[in-house]
A and B are shown apart, each in its own frame.
Chain A
Amino acid sequence: MLDILEKYNILEAFWMTIRLTFFSAIGALVIGTVLAIMRVSPVAVLRRLGAFYVNIVRNTPLTLIMFFSLAGVGIVLEVSLVDPSSPTSLRDNAIRWAIVALAVYHAAFVCEAIRSGFNTVPLGQAEAARSIGLTFGQSLREVILPQAFRGAIAPLGSVLIALTKNTTVASVIGVAEASALMKVIIENETASVAVFLVFALGFVILTLPVGVFFTSLSRRLAVKR
């Protein structure tokens, strides 16, 4: 087992997992917040668009979205996210499309988590914000969103954990993250339980602190009413 660990760079594979998680989490948070605002906005068209996005994306397998991003949009429609002349363009293009797919997919879940956070904010908070003359945007920024995020921290933590594990799907478009390396090792060396355990442990090490952190954060930042 040790010789396998020496032969393959497992840390680098997990580093890729972390990078995928980090960038797609930021993307998902931004898109998801915009979607959540759309879903609570007073404009019916925006509300419907937001709901449409969530219902379509949430109910599509991530593997399909991953394939569709790189193969459909990236290769067939020739939308490249990298400079095609760079020597690592193929690899980087796959990584970036994987991040896009992960962000787009998890945005739907982030949206629903934040929307549940909105529901923890009493209607009176918005009324008070409007009654001192804040515009819709200012009410959102200053009063509603800060409270909604605090109410959404725990479910957002769950989404982040799911996202971390879902980065393994990026291997279907050839991104060399942890699970891709595991498949390589199983292919080339041995399909032993030990190999599986090493990678499973790696994911536990990544996700367990996230869960602990978000739980304590949600307790610390809880809005007392």
Chain B
Amino acid sequence: MDDVNPDTAAPSDRTPDPPRDPMVVIDGVNKHFGDLHVLRDINLTVGKGEVVVVLGPSGSGKSTLCRAINRLETIESGTISIDGTALPEEGKPLAQLRADVGMVFQSFNLFAHKTIRDNVTLGPMKVRKKSKSDADQQATDLLKRVGVEAQADKYPAQLSGGQQQRVAIARSLAMGPKVMLFDEPTSALDPEMVNEVLDVMVGLAKEGMTMIVVTHEMGFARKAADRVVFMADGQIVEVGTPQEFFTHPKSERAKDFLGKILTH
């Protein structure tokens, strides 16, 4: 890791650890669900423009970690800061910080009573105080970008899962986030819809969006990740480039995990 020259390194074997320009800093974070220690002393720094993919078996705490970053899960000890600001307590400052952190959920969570367009314009109008016409214009652009502009006046239930998830991404992008969190964005999708969502995500990664992606999509990790974080039993077991991780995993736990998923 030390002998990599950052100036000549290709993106695929870049290991900015710790990144010089941090966006998300997770420091000594612990959390329990009852007796279960879901996050054990987690330390992770994600740099600006970096794409970090979090892998691991179910129950390893990766979703909890992702949700803790915008405080949908509270933590018991340690600190999480975003672009230099520590996560505040529940209240207005937290709402403002969340506006800068995009979140894409496994179950899409589009607002069921609002049209696709209104889903995308709600945040910009209520939080960013944009005018309706500005927000509409932006929504049209974003929906075009994720390829669902034709569905703008429909309701979420009328769209396929893949379309809904792309709208969810557009809804997050409409806030102009500094970082995007993806909590298993393709796990609830039919297989033929996975790629249309991943394509949008790869596009975002290429544009330099800072992304933390919890996923089981190894192809995405290989293609778009700067770093892979492997979690098991609430701990970060291994951090490395996708190249390193998939070809030469260091830990037994990671070898075991990869052995189980890559054989098919």
Contact = CB atoms under 8 A, between A and B. Distances in A.
Interface stretch (A62-70, A132-140, A153-161): A132-140
Contact of A128 (B100, B109, B157): B109
Q: Place the interface of chain A in its size category.
A: 20 to 34
A131 to B, nearest CB: 4
A127 to B, nearest CB: 5
Interface residues of B, number: 31
B105 A127 contact: yes
A124 B126 contact: no
A98 B194 CA distance: 61
A129 interface: yes
A131 B101 contact: yes
Interface in A3-33: none
Given A133-B123, A223-B113, A124 B95 contact: no
A167 B92 CA distance: 44
B98 A146 contact: no
A127 B112 contact: no
A146 B105 CA distance: 22
A132 B109 CA distance: 12
A130 B72 contact: yes
B62 interface: no
B111 interface: yes
A225 interface: yes
B243 interface: no
Interface of A: 42, 122, 124-125, 127-136, 138, 142-143, 146-147, 150, 223-225
Interface of B: 70, 72, 90, 92, 95-103, 105, 107, 109-113, 122-123, 126-127, 155, 157-158, 168, 171-172, 175
Q: Which 3 A-B pairs have the closest CB atoms?
A: A133-B99, A132-B123, A224-B157
